[in-house]
Structure 1
Amino acid sequence: MISFEKMYITISESLGIYTKDQLYELFTTKEHGLPISGHRAAIIQSRVFFFCVVFAVLVPAWSIIDLLFLPSALWGGLLTIRAVSGIVFAILAWLSRRQPTMKLARLLLAGMLAVTPIFYLASGYWIEGYPLTSQEQIIAGLYGLLPFVMVAGLTLFPLTLFEFLAYAVPLFLVTLVSAFPGSEAEIPQAVSTMWLLILILGVALFSSLTQLRYMLSQVSRASYDVLTGMLTRRAGIEVLDLQFRLASMGGGSMSILYFDLDNFKAVNDTYGHDTGDKVLKTASEQICNCVRKGDSVIRWGGEEFVVVLPTADPREANEVVSRIMTAGVGERPEGGPVTASIGVAEVQEDNVNDWKAQIELADHRMYSAKTSGRARSIGVDGNAILWAEGSQAQAVNK
Structure 2
Amino acid sequence: MQKLEIFFQMTAGRLLGAFPREELRSLLLPAGHAPLLARRRAEMIISRVRIVAALFALLTPLWIVVDALVFTYPVSIMLAAGRIVTSLAFGLLALSYGKSTKMADAYRALAMLFGIPTLFFIYSHPLLSHFQLVGPAAAIAAGYAFLPFVMVAGLSVFPLTALESTLFALPVLLAEALVALMQLGMLSWSSHLGAFWLLFLITAVAALAGMSQLSFMISLVGQASHDGLTGCFSRASGEELMDIQFHIAARSGAPLSVVFADLDNFKAINDGFGHDAGDSALNAAAEALRSNLRAGDVLLRWGGEEFAIILPDADCATATKAVARLRERGLGSRPEGGRLTASFGIAEHLADRATDWRQLVEIADQRMYQAKLAGKDRCVGCAEQG
- TM-score for the superposition, normalised by structure 2: 0.84
1:81-100 alignment, distance < 5 Å: 81-100=82-101
Encode CA deviations 1:65-86: one digit per residue, 9 max, x unaligned.
Answer: 2222223112343333323322
C-alpha change, 1:336 and 1:171, in structure 2 (3 Å) is farther
C-alpha change, 1:110 and 1:287, in structure 2 (3 Å) is farther
RMSD: 3.0
- Residue in structure 2 matched with residue 141 of structure 1 by the alignment: 142
- Residue in structure 1 matched with residue 309 of structure 2 by the alignment: 307
Is contact 2:160-2:210 (8 Å) kept? Answer: yes
* One-letter amino acid matched to 1:374: K
1:181-260 alignment, distance < 5 Å: 182=184, 186-247=188-249, 253-260=255-262
Q: Percent identity?
A: 37
Q: Distance in 2 between matches of 1:107 and 1:294?
A: 28
1:161 matched to 2:162 = yes
C-alpha change, 1:255 and 1:211, in structure 2 (3 Å) is same
- Residue in structure 2 matched with residue 320 of structure 1 by the alignment: 322
- Residue in structure 2 matched with residue 392 of structure 1 by the alignment: none
Encode CA deviations 1:266-319: one digit per residue, 9 max, x unaligned.
Answer: 444455444443332233233334434443321111221111234544334334
- Residue in structure 2 matched with residue 58 of structure 1 by the alignment: 59
Is contact 2:162-2:208 (8 Å) kept? Answer: no
- Residue in structure 2 matched with residue 69 of structure 1 by the alignment: 70
C-alpha change, 1:163 and 1:327, in structure 2 (3 Å) is farther
C-alpha change, 1:174 and 1:243, in structure 2 (3 Å) is same
1:273-288 alignment, distance < 5 Å: 273-288=275-290
Is contact 2:161-2:207 (8 Å) kept? Answer: no
**What SS does the aligned partner of 1:382 have?**
helix
- Residue in structure 1 matched with residue 42 of structure 2 by the alignment: 41
* One-letter amino acid matched to 2:167: A
C-alpha change, 1:104 and 1:316, in structure 2 (3 Å) is farther
Q: Distance in 1 between matches of 2:338 and 2:28?
A: 44
- Residue in structure 2 matched with residue 113 of structure 1 by the alignment: 114
Q: Which runs of 5+ in 1 are unaligned?
A: 1-7, 384-396
* One-letter amino acid matched to 1:225: D
Q: Distance in 1 between matches of 2:186 and 2:80?
A: 34
- Residue in structure 1 matched with residue 5 of structure 2 by the alignment: none
The Cα shift of 1:179 comes to 3.8
The Cα shift of 1:157 comes to 0.6
Q: Which runs of 5+ in 2 are unaligned?
A: 1-11
| Stretch of structure 1 that moved more, 264-273 or 95-104 | 264-273
* Number of residue pairs the alignment of both structures matches: 374
Q: Distance in 1 between matches of 2:293 and 2:138?
A: 64
Is contact 2:320-2:381 (8 Å) kept? Answer: yes
Is contact 1:179-1:193 (8 Å) kept? Answer: no
Encode CA deviations 1:89-123: one digit per residue, 9 max, x unaligned.
Answer: 22222223122222211221122112222221122
Q: Distance in 2 between matches of 1:338 and 1:288?
A: 15
**What SS does the aligned partner of 2:351 have?**
helix
* One-letter amino acid matched to 1:278: S
